[in-house]
Structure 1
């Protein structure tokens, strides 16, 4: 699949998903439920803001000394008998995996949930390799694979846009006979997947955190599929983003607490695993252990205003509070990283030509920043992206550029601004929907706008944008009269 998930334009994706009422209902339900669970789990921990600050400090410290910790981690993996490979690009990561598969004569692959493996396009590569069979073992990812590799819509709950009836129909293609009861569906998936685990030659996983001083990887899961993927096959490949590293187990413990409570509203998930190459005294585990450390554009953020984005621990909390994500869903972003974190990260990894619309897919309400467990200033980074595109890359042009210049001149001149206020009600009349004033219109000023041209069109198409009041009824006029009645001059001093 790769980083980009759609060939449609941003407007086409949004229009399509805005019409998907079933998806929107599912997201609203998930967001509301996660809010309750997340906040309760954080309250149980106590001193949540101090934990956030500690998480931020750990991530910032690690990024400041990233080369040192990566070298330490690599040395320790190799001391334990494993192999570390550094992939600068998506193509290089694919080639490393391909070489291992061919060298080990791999036929059956099981994968646990991993955003990085999707980012570098491993699944399409395996599909094109003759004699190689791959299956996603995370239940949600398995559902998407069986549905002709449908796109994930959330970084923690990839199939949140599907309901139980849709899952039942997907499983019926595999021979399922039964109801749409979630327990029955999960039992069927378990039966199918258990056989695949036992046949697997290769297990592939991601990495929540890599432990620098021990060379172990840390996996946080709820289903146990990752533990099977790293214990049964004789060969294991771990793909990790270069920033997903911590100095010691102590820091991993802190971040696991932040991750579990923020991602799924639990004190800890069912399985928190620390693993590596099989030791001589162990009964299971991989005999051949490979870690591929992926850059794929991440280093472009180091030392820039976007470095803080590399603090991300992929909890998905920002998606669960975002009003834009709530309406357009994960597919609207056209990236495997949706929501606020994706709107910041995708342009870093894939460039502005591919993902330049995403920083504008935000109301800048700041809810994402407020909920982030490692205090990434997400809405500020979205503004930084806009600044780069407008000022440095000169990507604002044409009608948008002319409109913004005109607005700037009008709002910068008190005389012109006051003149506009006197005629804005009359001028907006030709753009207003001719309806009787109602609660939906927000204010009783003769309808709401729905025909605005150019860059304002999206506001009036999708929002109840009220027609401005007459000058005699506007706030400034009311405030001036109100102050006069109180005996206060317009400069704020009593007469």
Structure 2
């Protein structure tokens, strides 16, 4: 990806190993993802029709994707009719160039920006800095990581790796009148005071879009803090950056998707602010931008439509991250790209190429929990398995891995040999265990470097099945 992620040095395995040794990170991740899982479970339990709504949401996205050219053309026609200006970008470079060109034409010195993972994907923060444009992140979590000089670690909670104690120290250092407090309300008040002047003095406001509505040419933003409205309304110019997969046919479809998106993301019924923006300020309007620009970004999405169209359903809710046993242990920065977790492992090879990102599809236990909680039923485990197979076929796996897989395939395909190997290996593993756990494995230190490995039970799965026991 084009984002400036220089602080994420090393390989995925090196970053993951470092994260696994960070006890402070585990505390922050446990707080954030644990709270998210609890709230989502309660929201789903309170809505008996959630599974039906989930199936309908997947169908809505598939319908838009199956009619991609038609709805994009309809959106363009209606957006232009509303007074918006459209800019089509084939890749990250063109998208950033379009935004910078608008900023230069309007002589923008300061831009405010509400949270947009597409901006991170295309490297917009770095592009603005190179162009000499002052960028002010207005989402609270994005404000935190901007002060810390970091990149987002979660697509919904960018500062998921930070505790409230960390945040208070950052605010004490960077805010003008912040006292070292850890009460959430006090820290929010401090950020509000710090950002207020920028909200009303910025030349340009930049937002993302949760949906592009074809029937009206409007874009929809879904937020909880109100910063998006303060980013998009007071400045003279509003720039929207959006992936073309955000297209939906109707406003009704956008609202149906919102119901499953919000429950999956935050466990709420609705966010505090669901706003439809349609063109610039009109005669008689009390507020709003004088110019309204929409930058529509492809950046691999057309290719994705051919190779793995289900991935374009993604609503960027973050549920797969919150329920991923790997993400919850290593956090987002270990993945190295803009998008972490299962969905990031699925799409990063599209943006960066498979060879440099081949470790990501392997960062998965294939337990299927990500698919189970996805509000649009994306088959993430299948997509990740397909990337693994492609990596093997293209020769990206090491010689040791290829030999190991060949040996495993040879043994597993011969039942008698497989049972004989188990008869030798399992007793040896049990003897290494203590109180049911193995703290070190010869020839496989990666399995026990950061955790204890469960010792095998006395009876194998196959033995239990053969004896009629419950497995």
> TM-score band (shorter)?
over 0.9
Query: Does residue 417 of the first structure (1) align with residue 435 of the second (2)?
Result: no
**1:83: which partner in 2?**
85
In the other structure, the counterpart of 1:489 is: none
Distance 2:86 2:323 in 1: 37
Equivalent residue for 1:112?
114
Question: If you compute each CA radius of gyration, which structure gives the higher value, 1 or 2?
Answer: 1
In 2: Cα distance, 1:417 partner to 1:384 partner: 26
Alignment partners' CA distance in 2, 1:319 and 1:218: 24
State the distance in 2 between where 1:307 and 1:480 align.
39
Quick one: which of 197, 200, 204 aligns to 1:202?
Answer: 204
**Which of 426, 435, 439 in structure 2 is aligned with 1:438?**
435
> Within 5 Å, which residues of 2 pair with 1:434-473?
437-439=434-436, 441=437, 448=438, 450-453=440-443, 456-465=444-453
d(CA) in 2 for partners of 1:182, 1:169:
13
* Greater Cα offset, 200-209 or 94-103: 94-103
Deviation at 1:458, TM superposition (A): 2.2
Residues 467 and 313 (structure 1), Cα distance of their counterparts in 2 relative to 1, 3 Å cut: closer
Task: Assess if the C-alpha contact under 8 Å between 2:370 and 2:380 holds in 1.
Answer: yes
Alignment of 1:236-275 (within 5 A): 236-275=238-277
What do residues 355-411 of structure 1 show as CA deviations (whole Å, max 9, x unaligned)?
2111110111111100001111111111111121122x1222401101111111112
What's 1:143 paired with? Answer: 144
- The answer on whether the counterparts of 2:3 and 2:125 sit within 8 Å (CA) in structure 1 is no
CA deviations 1:4-41 (Å, max 9, x no partner) are 73231111111111111122122222222222211222
Contact 1:76 1:213 in 2 (8 A): yes
Matches within 5 A, 1:284-433: 284-304=287-307, 306-391=308-393, 393-425=394-426
Give per-residue Cα distances to partners, 1:87-111, cap 9 Å, x unaligned.
1111111111111111111111100
Q: Is the 8 A contact 1:452 1:460 kept in 2?
A: no
**For the structure 1 residues 4 and 233, does the alpha-carbon distance in structure 2 shift closer, same or farther, using more than 3 Å as the test?**
closer
CA RMSD of aligned residues (A): 2.2
Of 215, 228, 231, 2:230 maps to 228
* Cα distance in structure 2, aligned partners of 1:480 and 1:384: 30
In structure 1, list runs of 5 or more residues that go unmatched.
442-447, 487-495
Aligned to 2:166: 166
Counterpart contact for 1:321–1:368, Cα < 8 Å: yes
Q: Which moved more, 1:403-412 or 1:217-226?
A: 403-412
Q: Following TM superposition, where does structure 1 have runs of at least 4 consecutive aligned residues deviating by more than 6 angstroms?
A: none
Please give the per-residue CA displacement for 1:281-327, whole angstroms capped at 9, x wherever unaligned: 211111111100011111111122x1100000001111111111110
Map of 1:35 onto structure 2:
37
Instruction: Measure, in 1, the Cα distance between the counterparts of 2:302 and 2:212.
Output: 18
Given that 1:4 and 1:336 are in contact with CA atoms closer than 8 Å, whether structure 2 keeps it comes out as: no
**1:199-237: CA deviations, max 9, x gaps?**
111000000001111111100000101011111011111
Does the CA contact (< 8 Å) of 1:112 and 1:226 recur in 2?
yes
- Using the alignment, how far apart are the partners of 1:251 and 1:403 within structure 2? 48
State the SS of the aligned residue for 2:192: helix
TM-fit CA distance, 1:424: 2.3
- The 1:284/1:410 distance shift into structure 2, 3 A limit, reads same
> What SS does structure 1 have at the residue aligned with 2:155?
coil
**Cα drift, residue 477 of structure 1:** 9.9
Provide, for residues 214-264 of structure 1, a one-character-per-residue CA deviation record: whole Å limited to 9, x for no partner. 111100000101011111011111000110011110101101111111111
Instruction: Quote the Cα distance in structure 1 between the aligned partners of 2:466 and 2:277.
Output: 72
Comparing 460-469 and 228-237, the one that deviates more: 460-469
394-403 or 309-318, which deviates more = 394-403
Distance in 2, matches of 1:207 and 1:37, equals 24
Q: How far is the alpha carbon of 1:65 from its aligned partner?
A: 0.8
Mapped to 1, the partners of 2:374 and 2:117 lie a distance apart of 19
Superposed CA offset, 1:404-428 (max 9, x none):
1111111212332233234325766
When structure 1 is superposed on structure 2, of 35-44 and 206-215 the one drifting more is: 35-44
Answer yes or no: is 1:154 the counterpart of 2:142: no
Distance 1:422 1:210, change over 3 A: closer
For 2:184, the equivalent position in structure 1 comes to 182
Shift of 1:480: 9.9
TM-score by length of 1: 0.89
SS in 2 for 1:134: strand
Counterpart position of 2:193: 191
| 1:461 positional shift | 3.0
The TM-score with structure 2 as length reference comes to 0.93
